[in-house]
Structure 1
């Protein structure tokens, strides 16, 4: 089976050397190359050779023991952590490399967490065991303490057996474990076997590769086509390359991807070389030529798009261009960097200032050379500051309404803060009876399609859960863009009401320095607003671990080097975002006014007297058409609250009088009186038209034939409104539906109506509209994501002039729409009374008791 493996570690652990050793044992290389010698097979970029570090993830293809492997050598430097995280999306398995001399480093913990989040099985290789200071026992203690107690030596079957009761029984019976059992434990991430050796001397590598082959044989693939795009290469290239891992099925040249783009060429890369192929299959890592709209993290076929990266830059830099370079001409070319690494977020403001988000100094130096070599631009970077975020202060329901002429949408979104590092989450808690599934999905799309800004300093929102709890669409006037406006305004309205908290990035640091300087370091950390654990002794030196705001500690390395005379060292890893330690100063620095942000309005647009009216954010909830849920302390308290306790500002079963509806329709119909009168008529100052010429010819009215009478009933709506049927519904849905059909059948026998009972079938995937007879009436099941209301509205619009239609409904908006189509109305309560009245008349007529 074809499998994809990634080697991941902190910088200088020996990733590239291990890659070389694996390729050498597989017969791909004649000798093991070295990074520091510049002859490594995968470190082909000139900057990688000059710096002796891996910067870009690249594939190498090889065969071993009848299995086909693709090996990805990923960057280990913290500044290129986003490149390593994107590569994880393509992996079946990961080899986590640990330096036997350095042990578990801060970045090692970050990598392990990313692999855990992506559910990637892991093999651990402790490298550099040929060094005198290497200590496998110490490394194992650190692995168990800082990563997971599932880290066990590859030969320690007893420890593996502790992971599962059935496996323990096998061990007790055989005093060993079968290879198949070990494979199952690894694939289930119940154990992380630890191998050890020295990659440079090819020690312990073959044992690791044998386990790789055994795991590869256990992989199963889907027959349906799917792919995960993990990398784009376009800057300075004639050909745009889309690197994708095929997760299922196969893909041929000239095929059309699920996004509608054509594949003109398929390339299998191995190092610098590539081979053109006509078809690729599951397990291949391929570069697609042709697609122009693909992006890193995109899912193709049955695969879904990947969530946003966990690791993101925390520093903002301004790009300084040479005087001869026009920013407006350079900017479109620099935008290609966003395709290769979306976390850079290259942007240009109204003053033609170009900015980027970067991880640190090493990345800026790499980008300077990359831009020069591939675009020919001489640039430099000037640090602007750290990147702040914001989160909402507390639970709030945001409401957005968008109703200019011939448009309509309303969205209700519950927002609540989440734990640090949770990012953005979206859930739904609204019945499709109240908001069709397609509109719910559209709201979710609009929540996730952009970065929403906080109201304190206008920073991106994070660590927030959005729950879609209500909304409304119009069968005729709602368009997709309407819900975009309603969603954006709902989020902004909630943020203005609840307020936001500024979040700033924190670095987790580890300092190694002489004991004499520990007191100075702790004092500095406290002055930064950071915290630390008690120092630990390390053979005459001290290790100080803690967290501190990135804005204060990011440049501390130079200061540490100065006062320790070069003996102290520090490592920094992003530890996530936390509440800002100096919010007042930051707000004063930004000077952000949320009311003046015209790109992020919190107000809503309502229709009043035929014209659009802007309603301020603090008045929206008094004017919204779908009632708000009562604010409570937790989201769980909303579970039993009716989602729509009123419709269009009317309570449940509150009936609009037909005269009132006719008045509404009349206002809408004659709102343009006097503006464009028909020929021969004059409205003047009065409300009654009068004839102004004498060319009127009387025409006798035509004989009117009686029209067929139809009664349309929203089945489930009526069941919920009828106490007797509601009791049956609590026990069995089919029983309640059958009883209603029997009642309607009897009612049909007492009247001259053609009765149609309409039931929602929106939960049935792929369901089309179906109609059938039940005794003397008709029953209709709607299509997927189509409600009974929508079906009835469409029926009345299409047949309102042909038939005499009566609709049973208590929905205010539906009443207006149906009345406007010429149909008659009957509330659920009135219909229940009508059925009882007809039954009583029948009993009296025939003397039935």
Structure 2
């Protein structure tokens, strides 16, 4: 089960309450005091926010539970995505005071798209300003029309706030359920409907969402929420008798730099020191064996020899493992729930070698922290808060003091048309031949063969495909080409002279010639924005949007929506407190890419520029 929410809604406090109720901790930790179980990083304790997902396992009566506490800040949405990929159910926490916030809406849309059964928990009912009726109306309007309140809240907004259960056999509930099931509607009209059973069915299919109320700080409503979790959220259904299927959702480094990979065992069983197939996010399958397995149980990790379906484990000894890799049988699931980072910044330190090594290890724990080493070292970001986190981690864990440049947008390149190139080299240090045809596609990288698979040793085919994917990270202007089809239309080799390295050197030259024949356009990222402003500032705000190259697509009284370039979003946001008298609320998320106006920006290359063969050969010689 995952606990998700907008930042400061009370996720970690709720986690502490559940751990206390299960007997895992003997006192409830407080975020403000920096003594919560799941926030273990120094920066998490100082800032009072969750940065990395944390796993804790315990039992609620007879129900074994693996609980994942996720970050709430939008800069760490990648951590949330990885947790969502392994959930059976979720609790979405909403503040009774602040209500439905931008991140809340994004999370609910994603939970709904993945059909993850979800309970809503309205926290902070004891706070001044807490709401009930109009908050329920907002939940139904902005999150889900099938929100089913399970309680009323006497003394709302005071320290004396309590919760009183509502009967399940009531007309409001029956009408909500009947709107989503015609068969149940007939039974309801006849007076023979079992509303409890139907609610369980609709929650399991993510069609209805019970709403519980309470306070994680005082403990009010927690027992009722626990009953709701046990009653409505479905158990894991994988069988230990099936083939092994497991998914890695977290990688961290522990003592002596050893990797520790957290994985959900979806089905089957896994034994320590037994060979297992690994299916990387990208790249060929390989086999390895975990040297040790630790089971999350009773609030801690315990070494075991065997684990099975439904459990979350930490695996040691998998030196090449990465987040998103699958073990055992490969299954299909949504790879991308949220957009990748659209910003980057240059990182500087006195010791560039130590900086690059440290950043490389950080990227293993968060694959969306992409690192580029050209004339300068850059990292990708979701937002400004991530800078502070990266700087803190580099200083505390690696002893590297860094500075950052101004954040800039990450552009991409789009193919303009179709291009081909074929080349064979039989003289000099190489002996190989390849040919490619490239064409644009709507999404993703497609790699296809128009040559006989058996006409070339498999190791050579592997070298060609891996190099193609690596080469596409830098197009004609140095930016990635994310949407492209590459057809391998020609191969040649000379035995026993040709080796795989010959293809790895030749592929970038030929592929870039094909891309040059097609041409590319540089695109910039656009953000979708939602902006709530004071009534008398609407006209001023619309002008402000236009000044930053934004376009307003919707105006609903004091609510504006539209798109704005990522390049101008930060400057746009910086002036909002003044223009909106401190009352403007802005939420942004990635929307799409659009051609850059004017001259296309050029990014420093790291590959020696395969289109300039003299420069490229010099780069290869220096890399040896």
TM over 0.5, shorter chain? yes
Residues 530, 549 of structure 1: 8 Å contact kept: yes
1:598 aligns to what?
A: 610
Query: Residues of 2 paired with 1:205 and 1:564: CA distance?
Result: 38
Q: Structure 1 pair 116/445, CA: closer, same or farther in 2 (3 Å)? A: farther
1:219 pairs with 2:231: no
Q: Structure 1 pair 265/137, CA: closer, same or farther in 2 (3 Å)? A: same
1:704 aligns to what?
A: none
1:283-302 to 2 correspondences below 5 Å:
283-302=310-329
Residues 92, 120 of structure 2: 8 Å contact kept: yes
2:26 aligns to what?
A: 30
* More RCO (CA 8 Å, sep 6+): 2
1:398-797 to 2 correspondences below 5 Å:
398-405=419-426, 407-413=432-438, 415-418=439-442, 423-424=443-444, 426=446, 446=466, 449-450=469-470, 452-453=472-473, 455=475, 457-462=477-482, 464=483, 466=485, 471=489, 492=512, 495-532=515-552, 542-564=558-580, 567-580=582-595, 582-585=596-599, 587=600, 589-590=601-602, 597-598=609-610
Q: CA deviation at 1:579?
A: 0.4
Q: CA deviation at 1:310?
A: 3.1
Query: Residues of 2 paired with 1:194 and 1:38: CA distance?
Result: 29
Q: Structure 1 pair 595/346, CA: closer, same or farther in 2 (3 Å)? A: closer
SS at match of 1:597: coil
1:254 aligns to what?
A: 273
Query: Residues of 2 paired with 1:441 and 1:99: CA distance?
Result: 54
Q: CA deviation at 1:127?
A: 2.6
Q: Which of 303, 312, 323 in structure 2 is aligned with 1:276?
A: 303
SS at match of 1:344: coil
SS at match of 2:576: helix
SS at match of 1:90: coil
SS at match of 2:575: helix
Query: Residues of 1 paired with 2:533 and 2:518: CA distance?
Result: 46
Query: Residues of 1 paired with 2:225 and 2:251: CA distance?
Result: 31
Query: Residues of 1 paired with 2:29 and 2:565: CA distance?
Result: 40
SS at match of 1:335: helix
1:373 pairs with 2:373: no
SS at match of 2:275: coil
Structure 1: which 5+ runs fail to align? Answer: 602-849
Residues 508, 547 of structure 1: 8 Å contact kept: yes
Measured against aligned partners, the alpha-carbon deviations of 1:399-455 in whole angstroms (never above 9, x if no partner) come to 353544464554545x3342xxxx415386979899999899969954984361575
Q: Structure 1 pair 56/453, CA: closer, same or farther in 2 (3 Å)? A: closer
1:110 pairs with 2:106: yes
Query: Residues of 1 paired with 2:421 and 2:100: CA distance?
Result: 49
2:381 aligns to what?
A: 358
Measured against aligned partners, the alpha-carbon deviations of 1:362-413 in whole angstroms (never above 9, x if no partner) come to 211122121111111221212251111122335x3x4353544464554545
Q: CA deviation at 1:63?
A: 0.6
SS at match of 2:287: coil
1:769 aligns to what?
A: none
SS at match of 2:346: strand
Residues 548, 572 of structure 2: 8 Å contact kept: no
Q: CA deviation at 1:213?
A: 2.4
SS at match of 1:24: helix
2:341 aligns to what?
A: 313
Query: Residues of 2 paired with 1:148 and 1:402: CA distance?
Result: 57
Residues 228, 303 of structure 1: 8 Å contact kept: no
1:729 aligns to what?
A: none
2:162 aligns to what?
A: none
Q: Structure 1 pair 320/596, CA: closer, same or farther in 2 (3 Å)? A: closer
Measured against aligned partners, the alpha-carbon deviations of 1:762-786 in whole angstroms (never above 9, x if no partner) come to xxxxxxxxxxxxxxxxxxxxxxxxx
2:223 aligns to what?
A: 206
Q: Structure 1 pair 170/130, CA: closer, same or farther in 2 (3 Å)? A: farther
Query: Residues of 2 paired with 1:526 and 1:200: CA distance?
Result: 44
Residues 238, 309 of structure 2: 8 Å contact kept: no
SS at match of 1:186: helix
Q: Which of 88, 108, 123 in structure 1 is aligned with 2:84?
A: 88
- Return 358-367 or 19-28, whichever deviates more: 19-28
Q: Structure 1 pair 146/261, CA: closer, same or farther in 2 (3 Å)? A: same
SS at match of 1:32: coil
Q: CA deviation at 1:21?
A: 2.4
Quote the RMSD (CA, aligned, Å).
3.9
Query: Residues of 2 paired with 1:445 and 1:593: CA distance?
Result: 21
Residues 44, 271 of structure 1: 8 Å contact kept: no
Q: Structure 1 pair 270/557, CA: closer, same or farther in 2 (3 Å)? A: farther
1:842 aligns to what?
A: none
- Which has more radius of gyration? 1
Q: Structure 1 pair 129/484, CA: closer, same or farther in 2 (3 Å)? A: farther
Residues 4, 91 of structure 2: 8 Å contact kept: yes
SS at match of 2:261: strand
Question: Please, what TM-score do these two structures have when normalized by structure 1?
Answer: 0.60
2:416 aligns to what?
A: 393
1:348 aligns to what?
A: 373
Query: Residues of 2 paired with 1:465 and 1:173: CA distance?
Result: 57
Q: Structure 1 pair 599/98, CA: closer, same or farther in 2 (3 Å)? A: farther
Query: Residues of 1 paired with 2:445 and 2:101: CA distance?
Result: 30
Q: Structure 1 pair 287/466, CA: closer, same or farther in 2 (3 Å)? A: same
Residues 557, 569 of structure 1: 8 Å contact kept: no
Q: Which of 352, 356, 361 in structure 2 is aligned with 1:327?
A: 352
Residues 238, 310 of structure 2: 8 Å contact kept: no
Residues 391, 454 of structure 1: 8 Å contact kept: no
Query: Residues of 1 paired with 2:58 and 2:436: CA distance?
Result: 53
SS at match of 1:450: helix
Q: Structure 1 pair 435/124, CA: closer, same or farther in 2 (3 Å)? A: farther
SS at match of 1:343: coil
Q: CA deviation at 1:591?
A: 7.9
